[in-house]
């Protein structure tokens, strides 16, 4: 079942990344993103349409999770990034180019930058990590940016901060 969800997410993401596009003169439509997590018998996708302020994702300490993070915009993607707690998210998979990482303090940022000379409508990241720690309250920050059109900035941003609790419990989403 978990493999089926990952395959569907990858097919969705492949449709996003396979399209070259032209950056329009102006672009007022914000990009979209999708963050899917599965593991510990749980699978859930989050999008920019979720009300992140009212949600909390409970992760089981020492459980392994697969993630698929993608973003898309018909006028071209400028940047896709996520920020995770460095001390509590132990990646088991490589983070390969063109994805980059930056660690600052307690935060690991994983990001991809588009190319305005060769814009594409979307991109995808897949990875696997182990949630570590006990009774840790933290968050995952998700962000997608487009070019805002040929006229340049301001570019459109779509973002969300997903509340996370890592503890000895079943993986679940709860409403706050």
pLDDT at residue 152 tops 80: no
pLDDT at residue 156 tops 80: yes
Distance CA 110, CA 160 (A): 15
Pairing type for strands 122-131 and 89-91 reads: antiparallel
Which pair of structure tokens corresponds to residue 161?
A: 């901060």
The sheet carrying 32-39 orders its strands as: 42-47, 32-39, 64-72, 122-131, 89-91
Q: Which residue has the higher pLDDT, 152 or 7?
A: 152
Total of domains in the chain: 1
**Mean pLDDT, residues 42-53 taken together:** 98
Look at residue 158 and give its three-state secondary structure: strand
Q: What are phi and psi of 148, to 5 degrees?
A: 75, 10
pLDDT at residue 6 tops 70: no
Instruction: Report the CATH number that the domain containing residue 87 is assigned in CATH.
Output: 2.60.40
Look at residue 35 and give its three-state secondary structure: strand
Least confident of 51-60, 71-80, 151-160: 151-160
| pTM score | 0.88
* Residue range of the domain that includes 69: 2-175
Pairing type for strands 122-131 and 172-175 reads: unpaired
Which pair of structure tokens corresponds to residue 70?
A: 């993608």
């Amino acid at each position: 079942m978990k493999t089926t969800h990952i395959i569907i997410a990858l097919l969705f993401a492949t449709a996003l990344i396979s399209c070259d596009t032209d950056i329009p003169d102006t672009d007022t439509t914000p990009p979209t993103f999708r963050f899917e997590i599965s593991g510990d018998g749980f699978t859930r996708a989050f999008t920019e349409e979720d009300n992140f302020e009212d949600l909390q994702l409970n992760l089981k300490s020492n459980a392994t999770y697969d993630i698929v993070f993608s973003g898309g915009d018909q006028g071209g993607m400028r940047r896709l990034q996520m920020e995770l707690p460095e001390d509590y998210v132990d990646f088991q998979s490589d983070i390969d180019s063109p994805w980059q990482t930056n660690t600052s303090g307690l935060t690991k940022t994983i990001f991809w930058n588009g190319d305005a000379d060769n814009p594409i409508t979307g991109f995808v990241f897949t990875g696997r990590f182990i949630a570590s720690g006990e009774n840790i309250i933290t968050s995952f920050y998700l962000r997608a940016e487009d070019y805002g059109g040929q006229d340049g900035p301001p570019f459109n941003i779509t973002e969300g901060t997903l509340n996370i609790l890592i503890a000895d419990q079943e993986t679940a989403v709860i409403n706050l």
